[in-house]
Each structure stands twice: as structure tokens, then as C-alpha cells.
Structure 1
Amino acid sequence: MPDTPASPTATGHRRPRRRMFLAATGVATALVATFLAWPAANRADAAQAAFVHPGVVVSQAQLDFTRQKVNAGAQPWKGAYDQMKASNYASLSRQAKPRATVECGPYSDPNLGCTDEREDAIAAYTDSLVWYITRDAAYAKKSIELMDAWSGTIKDHTNSNAPLQTGWAGSSWAKAAEIIKSTYDGGWANESRFATMLRNVYLPKIIGGSNSNGNWELTMMEAATGISVFLDDQASYDKAMTKFMGRVPAYIYLDTDGDLPKTAPGSGLDTRDEIIGYWQGLSHFENGVTQETCRDFTHTGYGISSISHVAETSRIQGRDLYTGDVGTRIRYALGFQSKYELGSAPPSWLCGGTVKRGLGPVTEVGYNAMHNRLGNAMDNTQKLTVQNRPAGTNNLFVAWETLTHGDNPS
């Protein structure tokens, strides 16, 4: 059955910068209108609120835990590392394929640099992880080489999928850059050029959000928050988090929302028929069903993954969203989708009794936070997570999360 609710408390303030792992202090997360507030005014004064680095999805403490386990040969981390190291993403012979303009239409058709960009970004992140675990500088240099190739070339993303493509690639670039910037002392001559690329090519494309299917805006806000941390850009971070807090309750339903799901601010969904149409024709709602469940589980997995990633970044930066409404929604969404991904027959009210499975390697981050750290029972999610280990990559923006977050208490 779906997992039981957590108590709705949240968040905290942070301490100054560099490689610190923070404990959050609690203040209530409140529902305001149809969205969860992001109270930037409650945060520390800007002069005292420097971002924690590395602080995008993976913290210093998590990296240290992972490195210790892999070097000790402990499972599942060693197996997850071996899987990553054997992948083409970790190849030192990889040659970047940058383009000045990446053009991505619907479902990446046309695909002019879309796959190349996403995979080079995942490779840069992969290399940064291999560097940290092994201390082999060749991998840090390869990660930098890939990031430099793109920062010296790309100028724009175009066509209909441009915002989503920018979000996918930007999410991985930010994770890679954070680890290299914060942990590699061998020098990165073009770091400022890479930062300029993120600020001028990526951030403007995603920071305004999207009224498309919810996984778009969630992925875009994942990239926007990660890029903002790397840039130490408080204003962009707060803007992205405000968008994120408005989208999460419009993506994952809880019965406390009422007869209909919430809508994201600015969505233009004003009537019951419009909301039901946006929810793929779903007219009955239960805890954990998402706006894209009846589309397919693959896109649903994208949305759940990005929510978990942003919550993880926020926790590292000092505000623990897992202990409030966001965490409750993550837990129910994981439990609901995991049940049917494992093979349970859906009831007739759910997508006409037929679901399109294929959730993907997306459960580790949310499961680790909600079950391992906070102690919630999550039987279906646990079964699916363990069954799918080691979780690999979806070749878009999710990569190696059994390695980085599997049973990681840090």
C-alpha cells in the first residue's frame, strides 16, 4: 500500500560555504493559495547565506561515504561503481561533440546535437564521480575537457523541445561542475567561461518555467536550482524554488488537496474539465497519483526524479523539504507508482485499468531520504529499489544513484 504520511514540518537556515554538511532546523511549510510558499525572506541575510559546495544533489558527506564504501568493496556501492566505470560515459577516449546551436524538436526530432549534449553532460558528471572516488586526475581532466568543449561552442537551444533539452543537459552539467569546482585542485582555466555559458545560454531558457506536462517544469527547475548553486546566484535560486514549490502539488495528488488536484500558478486551468484533461483524462484521484501517471510511467519517473533531486539540493543547502509537504508527496508518488510497476493490476478507475510501465532508475534518492533517513515504511518502493539495483542512467539526466544515494545516511 502507499506509504503513510510524514509530519508536515520543514526547513532551516544555512552556514557559510565550502564543503559543509548542514543539519536543518524546522519551520512549518505552509500552503498559500494553490502552491507551497518559498519564503526567501526567512532565509539568512545574503551576506551570510553563501551556498554549500559541492551542493547540487550530491554533498561532500555523501561523496565521502560513497568513496569509503567503494574502496572497501562493500555492496551495493562497489557493484554500482563497477557498472558506472564500465559504461561508455566513463571512457577516457570519449570525444566531445559540441554544437553552436542544439536543435531539438518533439521527442528530439530533429535531433541536432540533442543526444550528444545530454550524453556529454552525463559523461562529465560520470568522470567527476570516478575522479572523486579514485583520485585519478585523468578523470577530472576529462570532465573538464568535456565541459570546456561545450562552453567554448554552444550559443543556443532551438525548436520546441529547447526548454526541456536545456533542463536535461543543464542538470548534469551543474552536478559535474560542482564536484570539479569544489574538490579538484588541479586547476580549471575555463571555469569562468563555463559559468558564463550556464548563465547566458542555459538559465534564461529554463528559469521562467513551463505550462507543458509537469515533468518539463520540474526538470527545468532542477537545472535552474543546480545552476544557481554553482553560480552562487541567490536571486535565481529563489525564483526557481518558488516555481518548484508551485509545481510539486500540481504534479502529485494528496487527498488533502480536495476533489481535484491543485493547479500551478499561471497554468490557466480554471475549470474541472480543463484540469481533468490536463491529468490525461483522470477523474478519480488517490494519494500519489501524478499528472502523468496515465500518460506513462516513464515521463512520470522524470517528474518524480526531478522533485527528489531538487529536494536533495535544498536539504544540502539548509532547508529540508523532505520533512514537509514535498516529502509526503514524494513518498506517496513513489509508493503508488512502485506498486503498479511491480506488476499489481491497476483498478478500472486508473487509466481505464491499463498503465504503461517503465518508471526507470528514479527511486533511490527519494527512497533514501524518506525511508532510510526519516524512517517511513515504504514496502513497495523498497522492493522495487532493491530489485533494480544497481540503478544506472536513463541517458537523459538521471545517473548512478545507487552509487551516490543508495542507503547513504550522510
Structure 2
Amino acid sequence: MTIRLGKHPVAIAAYTTLKRITDYGRLPALILTLSIAAGALVMPSLSEAQSFQHPGALNNQADLDRMKTKVAASAQPWKGSWDILVSNTNGWTSHNPEAVATITAGGGLPENYIRLARDAARAYQLALRYHGDGSTWAADKSVEIMNTWASIHTGWAGDSNVSLRSGIYGYQFASAAELMRDYSGWVPADFTAFKDYMLNQFYLGGSRNKDFLDRHHDTRGTHYWANWEHASLASAMAIGVLLDDQAIFDHALDYFYDGIGNGNMNRAVTYVHPNGLGQWQESGRDQGHSTMGPVLLGAICEIAWNQGYDLYGALNNRLLSGVEYISKYNTKRDVPFAPYVHDAGRLDSSLVRTVYWDISSVGRNQLRPGWDLVYNHYVNRMGMAAPYTGEYAAKTRPEGGGFNFGGNSGGFDSLGFTTLTHSRDSIASDVAPSGLRATQEYDRRITLSWWGSARATSYNVKRSTTSGGPYTTIATVGTKDIFHVDTDLTAGRTYHYVVSANTPSGETANSDQVSAIAVAPGGISYQAENAAYGGDAELITSTTNHNGTGSIVPHSGYIEFTGVDGGDGGPTTLAMRYAHGGPNRTGVWT
């Protein structure tokens, strides 16, 4: 299988945060993030690359073969997850599908979408049971559930919640069908009917996947939270695979990079802090919705991976930066938070703007299944370190799925069982640190962060004033918080950095080099993270004496603000947002 790097070499940030670093009585002179990012190559569309691989939605054949082998050997943690699956599916031998003609979600009507949620979970788990031990009764029941829904379910009722539900259960049903597509007991005509059902009831139609991603119910592009869009993206991508439909698949793939809403990867992780943690778009909202994000984006990235596209590594592994952020906070540790501006409202009405100044603790430390998929990709497939993701995953292991996390809709947001389907043996080889970033901060400080190595016991931070070295080791860093702050540098001097890992086998090669100039304190100027578009901009602050307006010099990434008051010298946090020229932005900025 060929894996391609991310599509766009330069991230296009819709939000940039400018945050005070210390308690000194002045604003930072400059915050500029420099990175060696994944994604230096242009990714071809599917039509330029290859035909679809089957099974190739959430699981591929290698996953199923590994699962079967590990379960037969009673190997852990696979067997623990399998035992939960067997217990669940044993209760469905005589299950009658819950299909109804109309699924209702929202709109003040009596809701019944939980029927769809439960049967999508059953169809998927029964399909796994068949692939794990060859139980044809499980295969027949899975197919029966899908055939029944395809023949009975003909419409939706409610409000915009239809978009969310058609996304979540669309990707789940499509993933189940992809597992059963070659089963001899699924009559070809019935399989074709089910594919038509997925196309017409989930992807096409008002408020469904395509309509939602294209139109957003006539709201501003950033009106809906990231999870809503990720649900539709996962569904579109899985349906594209199921139907061998290049256009559907590419629609989701393109939106991941270029979409106007919060499902765009740059907006899903709104800001990568100097320490490498990526702030999640819904972190100021609550943690229940934040922890749903990695579940949906993990599914999107795995489906893409199974078709030869590396979205996990896109934009310097931006997904991992976000999952580490969520995992750290939800394992009872503090994380930084930069003010987040959420713009909402219909296109034909006034802008509704909310500024989130702090991370929300609502729902903190709750557990969701799906983490083993993300953890095993980065750590045991790629050899990278993901310490907090691993800690969160360990708390959910061995995973169950639907019916094991409560009976309401939240318990069915994820198909789960990724301990069973995506766990891998520990990687045996060493991987050098990668993705080294240098963030210039005021007062002659440079913060370095990087992607660590799965087998590392510590890291060596090395510096030189000559590009290419020789380097001197300036710090040894542990394996939890993978960053280092280099202080007391000479203002105006360029410093060059590399990082290596110490492992049981010895020291790895150095990372690629990154360079940065130490900046002296004083002055008030700011630089946007990867700004790529012209347009107006404004500062937003919790106090009235730190306001200003400015404009972006097109394509230079530089923003100059005028009329900014330095304030009273106390601690100050500023948030900045800039428009990117979309039609829904006209008249917003002053």
C-alpha cells in the first residue's frame, strides 16, 4: 500500500491566538511559530492514484487477520475486547431489526434516532464476530439488519440534528457493510439496494452529508461545532469507499483541508501552543464533546489511510497535537488555553460571536472508546510517542462499543472495539524525533517542541549558532512533556536546533534542524501563524484598553495592528482573528 503525505504543505489558520507568556509588565514582542511540517508533497486525487481497496473503511483485511490470530492465541489486550464483543453479540441471535420508515432527530418532535444508533452498532459488532470466529449466524444477522433498514427507512424528520445523526450512523453503517460486502450470504441485489440506501438516505438529500457540508443550513461556515462536520466527513468518506465512488470520497478529502467550517483540520485544532499541544475547537465548550472529536477524526484518518492517504500526518501531525491536548486534560492534568472566538449565526441575520476565555471542565475525565485506534497508529505503526494519548487509552482498555457505554445516544457515538481491531504489537525499531518546532517568544526565549519516539527514555536537545552544527547538548528532557524552553539568548542571533532520543538501543539520529532568531523585549507587533490570505483583522480582549485594528499584508503572513494600547503593565491575554475572504465574511470585520 502506498501512503501519501498531506495535501497542502502550508497550513491556513483561520484563528491565531496571541498570548502573554509571563507576568512581566509588557506584551510579547513577537510570537512566530516555525515548523518542519509533514505535507511537503501534493497528494493526488483518488482518480490519479488507485482503485479502492476492500475491505477499506474503518478496517482492512490485515486488521481482521491480526484480530483473528490474536484472539485464537488468547493474546491480550485483544482477547479482553473480544470477550466483550462475544457477550454483546450472543444476546442478538433472535434480534428483530428496529427499522422504521422515518427517523426523527430534533425539531421538537418525539425522537427515535436511537433505534438507528443501536442497529448500526449491532450490525458492526456482528460483522466483527463473523470475521473473528467464522460464526455465519452473526454474518446473517448483520446482513438482515442492514437489509431491513434499506427496505423500510425512507425518510428523516426534525431539524439540523438530522445532519449530525445521518453523519454518525452513516459512517457506522457503511463501515459494517464494508466488512460484509464479500460475504456469500449477502445476495448481490440486496447489497446493491443497501448501497443505494446509503447514498440516498445518508449522503444525498436535504440536511444529509453533502447538503450539510455544502450549505450548513444557510449559516456562517463556522456556525457548527467541529464534531458535526467530522460526522458528515466520516460518513461521506466511508460511503465513498462502499460505493467505489471517487467523487464522494474526494469531496470529504478536500473538505478536510479546505472546508469553510470547523471540520477543516486547521480549525479542528485551532492553535498549536509553543509546547506542542494542540487546542481542540470544542475545548471551551465542554469535555464530552471534545473527547468525541478524536473518535470521529480517528475514523476519518483510518479510512483515508486504508485507501492510501495519510491524514494522520497532515499538517505536522496536527491530529496528534490535539489528541494529546484532550488526553492530558482528561487525565487530570492542566493544559494551556488561548482565547477562542466562535462566530455563528445565519447568513441572513446578525453575527453571533462568543469568546471562550478558559477551557471548560464540564464533563472532564469521562471515557470514550476509540483511543486505541489513534494510539496504535502513532505509537505502534509509526513509532512516535503519544504519552497522554496512551494514558487515556489505557483507562478505556479493553474497549467495548455500543451498549457498553450507556444506553443514550452518547454511548453510540463510537463503534468502539478498537482495542480488538487496531491494537498492534509494540514497535521493535527506533524512530528519530521529528516535526521539530521553534516558537520565538519575547525576552530572548525560544520554545522547542517535537514529536517523540515510542521507545525513548529521554531526549537530547542540541543547539548551534552555525547551521548544520556542530551542536552542543543544552538539555535532557523526559518523555512526558516533550518540549524545552531555551532562555537568556542573545537578541538578534540565529540559533539552530536538533533533537535526538535515547532508547534502550542507544541514541537515535538527530531530527531535522529548525532555526529561530532570539527576539529582544519591547514593542508591540504580532505575526499570524501561517497566515496566507489578505483581509481585515481585529484584536479581541477581555479589557477595553487593549484594542486595535489592522490589516494583513496579502500572502506575507504579517499582521500589523494600529491603535493598540499597551495597557497598565499587568498580565494581558489577547486573541486575534482574521478573515480569509470567503463570501460569508463580507462586512464582518471593521
Q: Same fold (TM over 0.5)?
A: yes
Structure 2 vs 1, CA of residues 90 and 401 (structure 1 numbering), >3 Å: closer, same or farther?
farther
Cα displacement string for residues 73-127 of structure 1 (whole angstroms, at most 9, x for unaligned residues): 1001011011111126862122111111101117xx6453300101101100000
Residues in 1 aligned to 2:110 and 2:384: alpha-carbon distance in whole angstroms: 42
Take 2:174 and 2:265, find their aligned partners in 1: how far apart are those partners?
A: 22
How far residue 378 of structure 1 moved from its aligned partner, in angstroms, is 1.4
Specify the alignment match of 1:236 in structure 2.
248
Number of residue-to-residue matches in the alignment: 356
Unaligned 5+ segments in structure 1 are 1-21, 259-284
User: What one-letter code is carried by the residue in structure 2 that aligns with 1:320?
Assistant: D
User: In the aligned structure 2, how far is the partner of 1:310 from the partner of 1:355?
Assistant: 26
What is the distance in 1 between the residues matched to 2:303 and 2:8?
A: 17
> Larger deviation: 227-236 or 359-368?
359-368
Per-residue deviation at 1:360?
Answer: 1.4
Shift in Å at residue 371 of structure 1? Answer: 1.5
Query: Mean alpha-carbon deviation: is it higher for 59-68 or for 22-31?
Result: 22-31
SS in structure 2 opposite 1:142? helix
Match of residue 455 from structure 2: none
1:354 pairs with 2:361: yes
Q: In the aligned structure 2, how far is the partner of 1:379 from the partner of 1:346?
A: 14
Report the 3-state secondary structure (helix = DSSP H, G, I; strand = E; otherwise coil) of the residue aligned with 1:321: coil
Could you list the per-position Cα deviations for residues 25-71 of structure 1 after superposition, in whole angstroms to 9, with x for gaps in the alignment?
Answer: 5576423655899x99823646x732000000111101110111011
TM-score, structure 1 normalization: 0.79
Does 1 or 2 have the higher relative contact order (CA < 8 Å, sep 6+)?
1
Change (3 A) 1:354 1:155: same
Partner residue of 1:303 out of 293, 296, 302: 293
* 1:330 alignment counterpart: 319
Query: How far 1:224 sits from its partner (Å)?
Result: 0.7
Question: Residues 66-77 of structure 1 correspond to what in structure 2 (within 5 A)?
Answer: 66-77=67-78
2:401 equivalent to 1:398: no
Matches within 5 A, 1:88-167: 91-105=92-106, 110-160=109-159, 161-167=161-167
Counterpart Cα distance in 2 of 1:29 and 1:89: 47
Please give the alpha-carbon distance, in whole angstroms, between the structure 2 residues aligned to 1:119 and 1:236: 26
Match of 1:339 among 328, 333, 337: 328
Q: Which residue of 1 aligns with 2:176?
A: 176
Structure 1 residue 30 corresponds to structure 2 residue 30? no
| Alpha-carbon shift at residue 348 of structure 1 (Å) | 8.1
Counterpart selection for 1:380 from 388, 412, 416 = 388
CA distance in 1, matches of 2:47, 2:124: 32
For 1:253, what is the secondary structure of its paired residue? strand
Corresponding position of 1:12: none
Indicate which of 207, 210, 217 corresponds to 1:207. 210
Deviation at 1:178, TM superposition (A): 0.4
Conserved in 2, the CA contact under 8 Å of 1:40 and 1:238? no
**Distance in 2 between the 1:43 and 1:408 partners?**
32
Match of 2:269 among 249, 252, 259: 252
Task: Find the counterpart in structure 1 of residue 532 from structure 2.
Answer: none
Q: Distance in 1 between matches of 2:360 and 2:228?
A: 26
Q: Tell me, yes or no, if the aligned pair for 1:123 and 1:143 is still in contact at 8 Å.
A: yes
Output the amino acid matched with 2:3: A
Q: CA deviation at 1:287?
A: 3.1
- Distance between the aligned counterparts of 1:347 and 1:322, measured in 2? 23
How far apart, in 2, do the equivalents of 1:405 and 1:191 lie? 26
**What is residue 366 of structure 1 aligned with on the other side?**
374
Mapping 1:253-292, distance limit 5 Å: 253-255=270-272, 287-292=277-282
Separation in structure 1 between the aligned mates of residue 193 and residue 360 of structure 2, nearest angstrom: 51
Greater gyration radius: 2
SS in 1 for 2:291: helix
CA distance in 2, matches of 1:58, 1:313: 8
For residues 46 and 279 of structure 2, the distance between their equivalents in structure 1, rounded to whole angstroms, comes to 35
Letter in 2 for 1:351: D
In the superposition, the TM-score normalised over structure 2's length comes to: 0.56
Partners of 1:102 and 1:28 in 2: how far apart? Answer: 37
SS in 1 for 2:68: helix
Return the letter of the residue paired with 1:312.
E
Identity among equivalent pairs (%): 27
- How far off its partner does 1:408 sit? 6.1
- How far apart, in 1, do the equivalents of 2:376 and 2:209 lie? 28
| Residues 141-150 or 203-212, more deviating | 203-212
In structure 1, give the amino acid aligned to 2:292. Y
Taking structure 1 as reference, are residues 207 and 50 closer, same or farther at Cα in structure 2, changes over 3 Å only? same
- Distance in 2 between the 1:185 and 1:40 partners? 40
Shift of residue 387, structure 1, vs aligned partner:
2.2
Aligned partner of 1:78 in structure 2 is: 79
The verdict on how the C-alpha distance between 1:409 and 1:220 changes in structure 2, with shifts beyond 3 A counting, is farther
Is residue 21 of structure 2 the alignment partner of residue 42 of structure 1? no
* Cα gap change, 1:306 to 1:44, in 2 (>3 Å): closer
What amino acid is aligned across from residue 333 of structure 1 in structure 2?
G
Higher-helix-fraction structure = 1
Partner Cα distance (1:286, 1:27) in 2: 19
- What is the CA–CA distance in structure 2 between the aligned matches of 1:319 and 1:26, rounded to whole Å? 7
SS at match of 1:220: helix
Call closer, same or farther: CA 1:346–1:110 in 2, change over 3 Å.
farther
Structure 1: how far apart are the matches of 2:237 and 2:292?
A: 16
Counterpart contact for 1:287–1:336, Cα < 8 Å: yes
CA contact (8 A) 1:253 1:287 kept: no
Change (3 A) 1:31 1:122: same
Unpaired segments ≥5 residues, structure 2: 15-37, 217-222, 339-356, 402-410, 428-590
Residue type of the alignment partner of 1:50: S
What CA distance in whole angstroms lies between the structure 2 residues aligned with 1:158 and 1:34?
36
**CA positional deviation for 1:324:** 2.7
Map of 2:443 onto structure 1: none
Equivalent residues of 2:6, 2:42 under 8 A apart: no
Counting strand residues as a fraction of each chain, which structure ranks higher? Answer: 2
Is the alpha carbon distance of 1:94 and 1:27 closer, same or farther for their aligned partners in structure 2, counting shifts above 3 Å?
closer
1:262 corresponds to: none
Q: Which amino acid aligns with 2:56?
A: G
What is the CA-CA distance between 1:329 and the residue it aligns to? 1.8
The residue aligned with 1:216 is 228
The AA in structure 1 aligned to 2:209 is: I
Q: CA RMSD in A?
A: 2.8
Please, which moves more after superposition, 50-59 or 399-408? 399-408
For 2:110 and 2:425, the matched residues in 1 are separated by: 37
Instruction: Work out whether residues 365 and 406 of structure 1, in 8 Å CA contact, stay in contact via their aligned partners in 2.
Output: yes
Instruction: Assess, with a 3 A threshold, how the Cα gap between structure 1 residues 255 and 346 changes in structure 2: closer, same or farther.
Output: closer
